[in-house]
A and B are shown apart, each in its own frame.
Chain A
Amino acid sequence: QVQLQESGPGLVKPSETLSLTCTVSGGFINTYYWSWIRQPPGKGLEWIGTIYYNDYNPSLSGSTNYNPSLKSRVTISVDTSKNQFSLKLTSVSVADTALYYCARDSSMQHWGQGTLVTVSS
């Protein structure tokens, strides 16, 4: 059974960069789609972006898609040696305070437990 676990700082200062990592266990990261989603306190779910990684399809492997509202500030990448994928969100503001989740597949059948990131000085 695949399991995902988010990790990273719980507090980030305004204008700085939010960096999170999702560690995948029980399966390999070199196939499937891998996504980040966030949820501001008391609000709904917002898709951040997705990366596709496939060792058997190098031409498409590593391709990313991002939410247009965040695209200029977001980068998602994969580290196959550690079976992890990462999120970087630059120039954060208080509006980026949220629970951040990682998930597998476009249909998001598997999720991590989430990690709360607070943006505050």
Chain B
Amino acid sequence: DIHMTQSPSSLSASVGDRVTITCRASQGIDNYLTWFQQKPGKAPKSLIYSASSLQSGVPSKFSGSGSGTDFTLTISSLQPEDFATYYCQQYHSYPFTFGQGTKLEIK
């Protein structure tokens, strides 16, 4: 199985900050990676697919990069609605696996 490790597990930031979340795969997954945002009581929402493609309707302040084993999600100019938990997921090979999540909290 491909293990996905996110860092940090939690992050405190202020409105207006720029933050970066990292996801590392235990083996190469090309660009078969999705980033999700999940708010309490809601289903995960796709932000980025194919590592760097912005999902339709998602603001351009979200961006993704990386290929192979190392990936990043960057959120520029944090707004109150961006404080949530973020997950990465690989779909390069079965079983599909998720990172453990990064909780982004207001400082």
Contact at B43–A112, with CB atoms within 8 Å?
Answer: yes
Residues in A with CB closer than 8 Å to B101 are 44-45
- Which of A12-20, A84-92, A103-111 has 4 or more CB atoms under 8 Å from chain B? A103-111
Contact at B34–A108, with CB atoms within 8 Å?
Answer: yes
Q: Does B18 reach chain A (CB closer than 8 Å)? A: no
A-B contacts at CB below 8 angstroms, number: 57
Contact at A101–B44, with CB atoms within 8 Å?
Answer: yes
17 A-B residue pairings within 8 Å (CB atoms)? A35-B96, A44-B87, A44-B101, A45-B87, A45-B98, A45-B101, A50-B96, A67-B95, A68-B1, A107-B32, A108-B36, A108-B44, A108-B91, A110-B46, A111-B45, A112-B43, A114-B43
- Interface residue tally of chain A, by bracket? 20 to 34
Q: Does A47 reach chain B (CB closer than 8 Å)? A: yes
The verdict on A109 contacting B49 (CB below 8 Å), with A45-B98, A47-B95 known, is yes
Q: Closest 7 A-B residue pairs measured CB to CB?
A: A106-B91, A47-B96, A107-B49, A65-B94, A45-B98, A111-B43, A109-B46
New contact pairs (5) apart from A45-B36, A47-B89, A111-B43, CB-CB < 8 Å: A47-B96, A107-B91, A109-B49, A111-B45, A113-B42
Taken together as a complex, chains A and B put the C-alpha atoms of A44 and B98 apart, in Å, by 8
Taken together as a complex, chains A and B put the C-alpha atoms of A83 and B32 apart, in Å, by 27
Could you tell me which A residues sit within 8 Å of B by CB distance? 35, 44-47, 50, 65-68, 101, 106-114
